[in-house]
Structure 1
Amino acid sequence: MKKTFFFSILILVSVITACNIGGQAEEVKPLFIGANKVFDQTIADESKQLVLSMEEVVEVKGVNKEENIYIAAKVKQFDRFFLDRIRNEAHDKIKKRFPEANVHVSTDKKVFLELEKLERKIYQNKINKENVEKQIKKIEDFMTG
């Protein structure tokens, strides 16, 4: 009886640790767009770096237009319980670095995906200023409700 209980526990522990080892993700680097695109994205690039320095954040996407900075962060699974705190901390870090900017931070997956699409289009020069403004307006609407 004791042997079967011991082996059951041993197998359970082995399965759990094996799942954790396989589940570790690679570090994802943000897409840095720079100044040579439709809009100068150096502010967004710097903001992404600030947010990515947070322990809870796994991946980050973002763009800026004039004094507006739009950032979406992907958070570690366990840290999803603390989304408000993470958003506030990210907002404060960016606001401290760029006090004159209007900072918009989200942890919503839809906003993350839309910012990712917009980043790619800006990076590949496949979008003009007018369409960037439309996309940003759409993303802003997602962020507000």
Structure 2
Amino acid sequence: MSEHTPRDDAPQAGPSTGPGTPDPAPAPPPGYPVAAPMSPQEEKTWGMASHGIALAATVLSAGTLGFVAALVIYLVVKDRGPFVRAHTANALNVQIIVGIVLLVSFPLMLVLVGFVTYPAACVFAVVVHILGMVKASNGEWWDPPLTPKFVR
């Protein structure tokens, strides 16, 4: 054996060997698999569904459950593609602003103004979600009017 060839049983120099050096940590167990990206058609479908389901929940609950529906859809499919993320975020942003207006409308009902703002917010949600469904089905990127981007 040559002087310059290391032996197989000789300790190798390196950061993890030597006296007093702890063994490297074991690899963590595998987690949940990452969801595969969606096809463009699936992204359009989910973009449309995010607006449609939030719309249905808003109409059926007099404006109160649209936020929950939009939030659930956003959390489930937001990482599956940029188009679906944009449309689910838009649906959630619409529901956040509508929720704020609805909360403000309750005390305003004492001075009768809330009886105008509450249905106006619900009509706004219906119109914007229908526009969002049409834009998503056409594959168009779109930002809803009068809606700040709380969620991106």
TM-score, L = length of structure 1: 0.32
* Bigger CA radius of gyration: 2
Higher relative contact order (CA 8 A, sep 6+): 2
